[in-house]
């Protein structure tokens, strides 16, 4: 199926930019859609942060976006608060960090880094993007229906999500959410299958699995996780649709809602949670692994050193991938699940800390005695290591069921997963965009704007999520519209929360404004950025041996032949501090890794 090398010919606008089957264009399409969705989700978070910092105060900003229906007098409605939280979470997890991150970089980098002309199936690849685009449109559109968007949290636990009588968002908004998700899952499955097949079958001569860049290993394992776990979410969603539309009782039992006695009996809300988290936990690593893969590549390149412990890094990716399937119920310690089952999940969950620790120490050793070049991508990659450490350690507390009881569903959890999954993945994505921008668009982004963007983002992000740990340890539940109820029983606690909430919101606004720098830099550079050279970062991997201007089939002549692993930076015996993968080994040279 791969396009032929000399098949580069002029194409119509539609087949080149819209219904393109070229992996590089599809990668860019994913990125553009994700940037749009990411901006929307960030805006939603600013809206609800304003509500949390200044509850009950009229805000022009809030009324500007929500109007009289959802913010009468400039004060956000209770239901809409839940709607914003739900859609923020959904977009960030699925549309920005799954579709956006994996979709963009798997598409761009898999063929380029393994030396293939294109994906195994260009048509399926195109289909994958258009399903993603359609599901993004539906999710975006669901915010504008009369009864509001889905309001039961991004985890959409039934019965709340099944009963429009319980909350208005569980009406049409929830139906659209479910249909959007079903299409999204189709997109993800098609994409993942394509990635797996491509990596297994289309590697160029000499590109053995142990010469693959860690990015490809990460995308490969991510795709396997997706293929194995997303179908389970699809079945969970289909059963929920049945409960909502056909009166079945998979998840519903003995319910009286709004004075209406339902006849459904025998279903279990816990069943949904098991199905949801069977996807939901691997999903965390579907989000995280690509970011770790990208940062491994970027840190090695810009430290001018081989990644330390290449095989251990592959081993940890595989171990994390495997373990991620047997830890899902740590989200359910206090749901009434059998406590013995809980202890099993404590054990498996804490095991994940071991490969994660190995990764962190390997990153640190890679930096040690390096010769670090601070491109914006490198800054973000180091930022990722920091947030991975900071967010990872708090996971140890949450994985411990005995302690989870005290902080479950508090802001401590919110802080934990935003730092370890949200920030790490977003930083990985930014690092990837800055690093491969020359490859994507043939232009350079502005470095100094990149620096400003990074430092504002790093300080802002820590400023948002660091205090949140303290709010959480104090016991503040998440998804509260406001915390004034604390005034009824503990004024000291209320004061602390109000203080910290204002600080958090301030930093959130600062980091959101910082993203404007990125957006400006991104679009301006696409239009007017200086032209890129072929290998701007003096990198070893194959994508930098392709011409700056994209051609169908990637390499003009023969496909390159690979002779070594991708991390020969500063290798003794070479004048340059990098040795491309296409350079043959010298007489008697040890491949040595």
* Positions 523 through 552 that interact with other proteins (CB under 8 A): 524, 528-530, 532-533, 536-537
H/E stretch holding 396? helix 376-399
**Residues in binding contact with other proteins, number by CB under 8 A:** 146
Tokens of 417: 């997963």
Q: Which of 3, 294, 474, 512 binds other proteins (CB under 8 A)?
A: 474
Distance CA 314, CA 212 (A): 10
* Positions 164 through 223 that interact with other proteins (CB under 8 A): 166-167
Instruction: For the CB of residue 358, give the shortest distance to other proteins in the complex, in Å.
Output: 6
Question: Residue 4 or 513: which CB sits closer to other proteins?
Answer: 513
Instruction: For the CB of residue 53, give the shortest distance to other proteins in the complex, in Å.
Output: 15
Distance CA 403, CA 421 (A): 21
Distance CA 126, CA 21 (A): 5
Instruction: For the CB of residue 214, give the shortest distance to other proteins in the complex, in Å.
Output: 13
Instruction: For the CB of residue 545, give the shortest distance to other proteins in the complex, in Å.
Output: 16
Helix axes 491-528, 424-441, angle to 10 degrees: 10
Q: Which of 45, 229, 375, 541 binds other proteins (CB under 8 A)?
A: 375
Q: Which of 241, 351, 506, 510 binds other proteins (CB under 8 A)?
A: 351
Instruction: For the CB of residue 258, give the shortest distance to other proteins in the complex, in Å.
Output: 8
* Positions 429 through 458 that interact with other proteins (CB under 8 A): 438, 444-448, 451, 455, 458
Q: Which of 174, 496, 498, 562 binds other proteins (CB under 8 A)?
A: 496
Question: Residue 325 or 524: which CB sits closer to other proteins?
Answer: 524
Stretch that binds other proteins, among 11-19, 21-29, 234-242, 382-390 (CB under 8 A): 382-390
258's torsion region: left (phi>0), alpha (psi -120 to 50) or beta? Answer: left
The residue among 297, 352, 365, 350 whose CA lies nearest residue 324 is: 352
Cα dihedral value 126, 129, 131, 135, nearest 10:
-170
Distance CA 539, CA 305 (A): 11
Q: Which of 2, 82, 317, 425 binds other proteins (CB under 8 A)?
A: 82
Tokens of 50: 């304003």
Instruction: For the CB of residue 310, give the shortest distance to other proteins in the complex, in Å.
Output: 7
- How many other CB atoms are there within 10 angstroms of residue 369's CB atom? 9
Instruction: For the CB of residue 81, give the shortest distance to other proteins in the complex, in Å.
Output: 8
Instruction: For the CB of residue 95, give the shortest distance to other proteins in the complex, in Å.
Output: 21
* Positions 147 through 166 that interact with other proteins (CB under 8 A): 151-153, 157, 159-160, 163, 166
Q: Which of 252, 320, 423, 425 binds other proteins (CB under 8 A)?
A: 252
* Positions 275 through 314 that interact with other proteins (CB under 8 A): 303-312
Contacts with 495 (C-beta within 8 Å, 6 or more apart), sequence order:
none
Query: Which three-class secondary structure state does DSSP give residue 578?
Result: strand
Binding of other proteins at residue 501 (CB under 8 A)? no
Binding of other proteins at residue 18 (CB under 8 A)? no
Stretch that binds other proteins, among 123-131, 238-246, 253-261, 551-559 (CB under 8 A): 253-261
The residue among 112, 92, 108 whose CA lies nearest residue 34 is: 92
Q: Which of 206, 231, 442, 477 binds other proteins (CB under 8 A)?
A: 477
Is-contact 26 18, C-beta < 8 A? no
Q: Which phi and psi (to 5°) does residue 548 adopt?
A: -65, -40
Distance CA 329, CA 102 (A): 25
The residue among 521, 537, 535 whose CA lies nearest residue 448 is: 521
């Amino acid at each position: 199926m791969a396009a032929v090398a000399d098949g580069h010919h002029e194409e119509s606008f539609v087949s080149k930019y819209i219904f393109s089957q070229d992996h590089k264009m599809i990668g860019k399409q994913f990125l553009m859609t994700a940037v749009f969705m990411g901006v929307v989700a960030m805006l939603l978070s600013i809206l609800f942060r304003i509500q949390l910092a200044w509850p009950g105060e009229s805000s022009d900003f809030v009324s500007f976006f929500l109007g009289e229906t959802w913010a009468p007098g400039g004060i956000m409605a209770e239901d809409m608060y839940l709607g914003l939280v739900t859609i923020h979470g959904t977009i960030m997890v699925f549309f920005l960090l799954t579709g956006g991150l994996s979709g963009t970089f798997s598409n761009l980098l898999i063929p380029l880094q393994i030396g293939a002309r294109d994906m195994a199936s260009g048509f399926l690849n195109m289909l994958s993007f258009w399903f993603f685009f359609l599901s993004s449109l539906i999710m975006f559109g669901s915010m504008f229906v009369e009864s509001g968007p889905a309001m039961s949290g991004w985890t959409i636990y039934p019965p709340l999500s099944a009963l429009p009588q319980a909350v208005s968002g569980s009406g049409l908004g929830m139906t659209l959410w479910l249909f959007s998700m079903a299409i999204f899952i189709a997109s993800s499955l098609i994409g993942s299958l394509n990635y797996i097949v491509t990596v297994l079958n289309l590697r160029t001569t000499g590109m053995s699995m142990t010469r693959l860049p860690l990015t490809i290993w990460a995308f490969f394992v991510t795709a396997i996780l997706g293929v194995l776990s997303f179908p389970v979410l699809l079945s969970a969603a289909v059963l929920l649709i049945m409960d909502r539309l056909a009166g079945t009782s998979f998840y519903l039992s003995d319910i009286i809602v709004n004075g209406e006695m339902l006849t459904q009996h025998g279903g279990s809300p816990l069943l949904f949670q098991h199905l949801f988290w069977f996807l939901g936990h691997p999903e965390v690593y579907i989000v995280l692994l690509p970011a770790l893969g990208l940062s491994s590549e970027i840190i090695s390149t810009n430290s001018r050193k081989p990644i330390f412990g290449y095989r251990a890094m592959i081993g940890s990716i595989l171990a994390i991938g495997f373990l991620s399937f047997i830890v899902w119920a740590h989200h359910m310690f206090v749901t009434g699940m059998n406590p013995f089952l809980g202890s099993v999940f404590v054990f498996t969950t804490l095991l994940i800390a071991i490969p994660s620790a190995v990764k962190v120490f390997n990153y640190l050793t890679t930096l040690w005695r390096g010769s670090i070049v601070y491109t914006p991508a490198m800054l973000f990659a180091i930022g990722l290591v920091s947030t991975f450490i900071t967010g990872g350690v708090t996971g140890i507390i949450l994985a411990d069921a005995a302690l989870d009881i005290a902080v479950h569903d508090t802001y401590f959890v919110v802080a934990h997963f935003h730092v370890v999954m949200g920030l790490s993945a977003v930083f990985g994505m930014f690092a990837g965009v800055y690093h491969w921008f020359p490859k994507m668009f043939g232009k350079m982004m502005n470095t100094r704007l990149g620096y400003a963007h990074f430092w504002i983002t790093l300080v802002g992000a820590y400023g948002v999520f660091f205090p949140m740990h303290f709010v959480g340890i104090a016991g503040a539940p998440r998804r509260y519209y406001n915390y004034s109820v604390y005034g009824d029983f503990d004024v000291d606690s209320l004061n602390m929360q109000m203080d910290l909430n204002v600080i958090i919101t301030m930093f959130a606004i600062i980091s959101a404004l910082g993203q404007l720098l990125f957006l400006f830099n991104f679009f301006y550079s696409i239009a007017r950025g200086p032209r890129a050279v072929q290998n701007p970062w003096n990198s070893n991997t194959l994508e930098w041996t392709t011409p700056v201007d994209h051609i169908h089939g990637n390499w003009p002549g023969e496909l390159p032949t690979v002779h070594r692993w991708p991390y020969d930076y500063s290798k003794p015996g070479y004048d340059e501090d990098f040795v491309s993968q296409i350079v043959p080994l010298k007489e008697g040279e040890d491949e040595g890794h």
